[in-house]
Structure 1
Amino acid sequence: MKKPTASSSPPKRSFKTMNNNKQDLFSMLSSHLLVLIVSYLPFKEAARTSILSKQWRDIWRQNTKRLLARNPKKDIQKFSLACSKPEDFLIDIQNFVIFAISRNARELELDFSDPTRKEVDDLENHPAIVELPSQVYQHVGLESLKLFSCNFDASRIEGPKLRFLKLLSDVSHFHLSNQSNMLEVDIDFGKELNFEEVIGSLVHNFLLELYAVKVLTMCSVLF
């Protein structure tokens, strides 16, 4: 007869019970503790926690400034941000863009267009609601700026190094005070409903304004 042997491994019953009941121990923690936990994560990992559950959705957003501040203080070559539903993230978007400018970003791309909407419907019934922070207009190191469905006042741009500008918006007036280094401008007005009425004067005004640009593209107007 074999002698019974003692097992050094811990019992697994408690783990099986937890798995079978699908208990989530994190859901038992307070929001304050969850915010503290997320604050120690890298920025990308912190943002990914928003898809875990409804409870986690906005936890990482309470750490936005702290998470951004923990990033290495070095220059950023390119900063891109896309959000098809920006209504609930306006403050976060402002913080992200201001952070990029504080890191001397040379290329800035902001896309707030909604691919599920038709282009006409998007521009006519859903105007841009995201305002470009004043820091962008004053950023002298900006070389490339791409904006989609973002409010923009070209006359406020002070960047003497700006070389490339791409804009998707319902634009009727455009003025660049400094375009000495501008090489290329790509502007899309969307599908203008009164296309035949505005095309002549609009194209004429843009050609006069962007006289120094080497390459000028106005896709919806020219095609």
Structure 2
Amino acid sequence: MARNSDMFNKLTDYLLFLIVSLLPFKEAARTSVLSKRWRHVWRATKNIDFNERFFVRVGEPNEIQETQRLFFIHFVLQWMENYQEPLVENFQLTFTKPGLFRVDMDRCIAFAITRNVKFLAIDFSDPTWGEDDLDDHVALFDLPLIVYGNAALESLKLFSCSFRMSEFVNFGALKDVSLGWLELRMSAIEAILLNCPLLESLSLKKCWNIEHLDIKAPNLQLRNLVIDKCKFAQDWYGIEAPNLRFFKYSGALGFFAVEISREFMEEADLGFGLEFEFDESAGDILYQLLENLYPIRILTVCSYVLQVIPCGEEPFKMDFPLNLTHLTLKAALHEHEFFGICFFLRSSPCLETLTIQIGPGRVFADYAPPFPLMPDNFWEQQFPPFNSFPFECFNTLTVVEVKGFRGTRYELPFLRYLIRSGHVLEHLHITVSKEGEENGGNVEAYHERAQVLQTFQKASPNLQISIY
């Protein structure tokens, strides 16, 4: 340790400043205790994150939160006053009550802009707002005019902070735009796409009052597109993005018209947690969406997809094999998901990694299986619709990851089937649920149930089972 300390002492101040700028702001602050020389090094960082949530604890009485918030403001103002560097690379400001401290918020943002910040993130959303609630939250702050004059901005994040659509003509260098918790019109999205020719990443989170989605622009460079729980007047989503590599959608089901280049598309994450009713006709919509996203190699699907997609006109598998090497199932491993799991396993002959994130999911009471369902021995039977058991992917599947294992009714039978059928399976990683006694869980019991997996007959002599 002393030897390492001596090596650090030989570094110039400039190199130390570079080191702390590579650290998260909170970690950079912790370096101040290393030695007398390090006490003020972190104050030269170019990676600044003023986050109220490091100071204000959710759940505390309002009086205590107000005191904590004032302390945070005092810390921020004092820190900026002592900052001597001419440039800032990354500036993040997270604050819950911007309207009560408007002048201070303006000072913070001006501090970053006058130092030619490249990555600006402003988050005025309230941590108590629910991710899955249906409330519309009006933006709590307006983006100051000074920001529009910074033509060097490469990344901009605005949460609960409205902006002037017409001023985006100045942001020609933007590569990354993230908007959340605000009212948004399709015309604003169009302005961003047209005025930001270098745009590579666009993320919309909990935005509302959008007429529909129409992602297209001349020479669009967009590579990453995230639509997260936004509210659209019309459930129609058009995407013409020839360079798109990653697409994540979370929200209500709608009609997707996706045009991409099969040369670039790599990954999709599809979640429909805002659907509250089972609809057999949705199976064909999901099938068409998967066709449009071909040839993705990495796919994540939710419980809704698993329950609905086998109810379409093609209940067994895709007409053509999917190109997947990594499939993630966000599932409850409930009996209603079984046919959907079979659909994807049978459609993915080149699958190498299967990840199962076990969670509560939304199980539909009016679910109608496409075939008679006998859940207790489902994974042992050889019934006609799926008489190709074991699936072709068991000749390529080498890794299975299970997160949130509790050993419930259908978890062990499914994993036993994988263990007995995976001819080349090398790793089975089990992470038990950390849900403690206070939430009705029993972590020790979960570990005991997971140990049963070690007793199952293995198809692969190289299989190693790890339990965490």
TM-score normalised by the shorter chain: which range applies?
0.5 to 0.7
Alignment of 1:23-38 (within 5 A): none
Residue 144 (str. 1) matches residue 146 (str. 2): no
The total of aligned residue pairs comes to: 168
Counterparts of 2:111 and 2:145, CA distance in 1:
13
User: What is the CA deviation profile of residues 86-109 of structure 1, one whole-angstrom value per residue up to 9, with x for unaligned ones?
Assistant: 231111111100110001111011
Matches within 5 A, 1:80-159: 80-119=92-131, 124=136, 126-157=137-168, 158-159=170-171
Secondary structure at 1:99 match in 2:
helix
1:185 equivalent in alignment to 2:202: yes
Q: How do 1:59-98 and structure 2 match up within 5 A?
A: 68-98=80-110
**Rounded Cα–Cα distance in structure 2 between residues aligned with 1:57 and 1:219:** 29
Distance 2:226 2:71 in 1: 43
Give how far 1:154 is off. Answer: 3.6
Question: Structure 2 CA distance, aligned partners of 1:210 and 1:84?
Answer: 38
Flag the 1:150–1:55 CA change in 2: closer, same or farther, 3 A.
closer
Structure 1 residue 56, shift from structure 2 partner: 10
Cα distance in 2, alignment partners of residues 55 and 203 from structure 1: 43
Runs of 4+ in 1 over 4 A off after TM superposition: 47-50, 53-67, 119-123
Change over 3 Å in CA distance of 1:217–1:104 after alignment to 2: same
Instruction: Give the Cα separation in 2 of the matches to 1:121 and 1:49.
Output: 26
- Per the alignment, residue 213 of structure 2 pairs with 203
Say if 2:179 is the partner of 1:171. Answer: no
Q: Which amino acid aligns with 1:203?
A: L
**Partners of 1:82 and 1:112 within 8 A in 2:** yes
Taking CA–CA contacts closer than 8 Å with sequence separation of 6 or more, which of the two structures ends up with the larger relative contact order?
1
Give, in whole Å, the separation in 2 of the partners of 1:133 and 1:94: 7
- In structure 1, runs of 5+ residues without a counterpart are 1-41
Distance 1:154 1:213, change over 3 A: farther
Q: What is the CA–CA distance in structure 1 between the aligned matches of 2:88 and 2:184, rounded to whole Å?
A: 29
Name the stretch that deviates more: 88-97 or 212-221. 212-221
Bigger share in strand: 2
SS of the equivalent of 2:156 reads strand
* Structure 1 residue aligned with 2:220: 212
Task: Kindly provide the amino acid, as one letter, of the partner of residue 74 in structure 1.
Answer: P
**Alpha-carbon separation, structure 1, partners of 2:221 and 2:125:** 26
Q: Which is worse superposed, 168-177 or 59-68? A: 59-68
Which whole-Å CA distance do the structure 2 matches of 1:82 and 1:161 have between them? 24
The 8 Å contact of residues 166 and 185 in structure 1, kept in 2 or not, is answered as yes
Say if 1:83 and 1:113, in contact at 8 Å, map to a contact too.
yes
User: Using the alignment, how far apart are the partners of 1:130 and 1:159 within structure 2?
Assistant: 20
Q: For residues 103-127 of structure 1, what are the alpha-carbon distances to aligned partners after superposition, in whole Å with 9 as ceiling and x for unaligned?
A: 1111011111111123577962x41
How far the C-alpha of 1:152 sits from its partner, in A, is: 1.7
TM-score when normalising by structure 2 = 0.31
Partner of 1:23: none
2:124·2:140 contact (CA, 8 Å) conserved in 1? no
Distance 2:227 2:72 in 1: 40
User: What amino acid is aligned across from residue 170 of structure 1 in structure 2?
Assistant: E
Question: Which residue pairs with 1:17 in the alignment?
Answer: none
Aligned residues of 1:84 and 1:114 also touching (Cα < 8 A): yes
Q: Over the residues paired in the alignment, what is the CA RMSD in angstroms?
A: 3.6
- What stretches of structure 2 of length at least 5 have no aligned partner? 1-42, 44-48, 57-63, 231-248, 251-468
Give the direction of change, closer, same or farther, for the CA distance of 1:64–1:138 in structure 2 (3 Å limit): same
In the TM superposition, what are the counterparts of 1:49-60 in structure 2 within 5 Å? none
CA contact (8 A) 1:164 1:182 kept: yes
Change in CA separation of 1:55 and 1:153 when aligned onto 2, cut-off 3 Å: closer
**Alpha-carbon distance in structure 2 between the residues aligned to 1:56 and 1:184:** 35
> Which secondary structure state, in structure 1, belongs to the residue aligned with residue 166 of structure 2?
helix
Deviation at 1:85, TM superposition (A): 2.2
Aligned-residue sequence identity (percent) comes to 26
How far 1:160 sits from its partner (Å)?
2.0
